[in-house]
Structure 1
Amino acid sequence: MRRLRLVWPVLAICAALVNASAARAAAAPVPEKPRLHLAAAGVGFPYLPFIIADSRGYFRQAGLDIEIGVFSGGAKALQAMMGGSADIVAGAYSNTITMAAKGQKLVSFVTLASCPGWVFGTTRASHDKVKTYADLKGMRIGVSSPGSSFHMGVNYLLSKAGVKPGDVSIIGVGSSAGAIAAARSGQIDALMSNDPVATVLQGSGDLFPLAVMRDPAGTRATLGGDYPEAAIYTTRDFAARYPNTVQAVTNAVLEAERWMANATPEQVAAAVPPQYALAEKDVFARAYANMQKCISRDGLMTDAAAHTVHDVLAAFDPEIGKASIDLKATYDNRFVENAGKR
Structure 2
Amino acid sequence: MAALWRQVSIALATFAAVSNASAASGAPVPEKPKLHLAAAGVGFPYLPFVIADSRGYFKQAGLDVEIGVFSGGAKALQAMMGGSADIVAGAYSNTITMAAKGQKLVSFVTLASCPGWVFGATRASHAKVKTYADLKGMRIGVSSPGSSFHMGVNYLLSKSGVKPSDVSIIGVGSSAGAIAAARSGQIDALMSNDPVATVLQDSGDLFPLAVMRDPAGTRATLGGDYPEAAIYTSKDFLVKYPNTVQAVTNAILEAERWMAHATPEQVAAAVPPQYALAEKDVFARAYANMQSCISRDGLMTDAAAHTVHDVLTAFDPEIGKASIDLKATYDNHFVENADKR
Q: TM-score, normalised by structure 2?
A: 0.93
Give, in angstroms, the shift of residue 27 of structure 1.
Answer: 2.0
Could you list the structure 1 runs, at least 4 aligned residues long, displaced by more than 4 angstroms after superposition: 4-8, 10-23
8 Å contact from structure 2 (residues 23, 29) kept in 1: no
Tell me the alpha carbon deviations over residues 217-267 of structure 1, each in whole angstroms, 9 at most, x when there is no partner.
Answer: 000000000000000000000000000000000000000000000000000
Residue 78 to residue 5, structure 1, CA distance change in 2 (3 Å): closer
Q: Which sits farther off after the overlay, 12-21 or 225-234?
A: 12-21
Q: How far apart, in 2, do the equivalents of 1:161 and 1:170 lie?
A: 17
Tell me the alpha carbon deviations over residues 45-104 of structure 1, each in whole angstroms, 9 at most, x when there is no partner.
Answer: 000000000000000000000000000000000000000000000000000000000000
Tell me the alpha carbon deviations over residues 7-38 of structure 1, each in whole angstroms, 9 at most, x when there is no partner.
Answer: 99x99999999999976xx5211000000000
Give, in angstroms, the shift of residue 301 of structure 1.
Answer: 0.0
Q: How far apart, in 2, do the equivalents of 1:126 and 1:13 lie?
A: 56
Residue 6 to residue 269, structure 1, CA distance change in 2 (3 Å): farther
Residue 20 to residue 54, structure 1, CA distance change in 2 (3 Å): closer
Q: How far apart, in 1, do the equivalents of 2:147 and 2:311 lie?
A: 14
Tell me the alpha carbon deviations over residues 315-337 of structure 1, each in whole angstroms, 9 at most, x when there is no partner.
Answer: 00011010000000000000000
8 Å contact from structure 2 (residues 33, 64) kept in 1: yes
Q: How far apart, in 1, do the equivalents of 2:15 and 2:233 lie?
A: 39
Residue 178 to residue 20, structure 1, CA distance change in 2 (3 Å): closer
State how 1:153-302 maps to structure 2 within 5 Å.
153-302=152-301
Question: Runs of 5+ in structure 1 lacking a partner?
Answer: none
Residue 132 to residue 321, structure 1, CA distance change in 2 (3 Å): same
8 Å contact from structure 2 (residues 22, 29) kept in 1: no
Give SS of 2:111's match. Answer: strand
Q: TM-score, normalised by structure 1?
A: 0.93
Tell me the alpha carbon deviations over residues 91-142 of structure 1, each in whole angstroms, 9 at most, x when there is no partner.
Answer: 0000000000000000000000000000000000100001110000000000
Give SS of 1:315's match. Answer: helix
- In structure 1, the residue matched to 2:91 is 92
Residue 164 to residue 20, structure 1, CA distance change in 2 (3 Å): closer
Give, in angstroms, the shift of residue 278 of structure 1.
Answer: 0.1
8 Å contact from structure 2 (residues 109, 299) kept in 1: yes
Q: How far apart, in 2, do the equivalents of 1:319 and 1:58 lie?
A: 40
8 Å contact from structure 2 (residues 40, 69) kept in 1: yes
Residue 74 to residue 15, structure 1, CA distance change in 2 (3 Å): closer
8 Å contact from structure 2 (residues 21, 61) kept in 1: no
Tell me the alpha carbon deviations over residues 176-195 of structure 1, each in whole angstroms, 9 at most, x when there is no partner.
Answer: 00000000000000000000
Give, in angstroms, the shift of residue 209 of structure 1.
Answer: 0.1
Give SS of 2:315's match. Answer: coil
Q: Which sits farther off after the overlay, 11-20 or 305-314?
A: 11-20
Question: Runs of 5+ in structure 2 lacking a partner?
Answer: 6-10
Give the superposed CA RMSD. Answer: 7.2
8 Å contact from structure 2 (residues 54, 271) kept in 1: yes
Aligned residues: 336
Give SS of 1:127's match. Answer: coil
Give, in angstroms, the shift of residue 6 of structure 1.
Answer: 55
Residue 236 to residue 19, structure 1, CA distance change in 2 (3 Å): closer
8 Å contact from structure 2 (residues 22, 62) kept in 1: no
8 Å contact from structure 2 (residues 22, 28) kept in 1: no
- In structure 1, the residue matched to 2:151 is 152
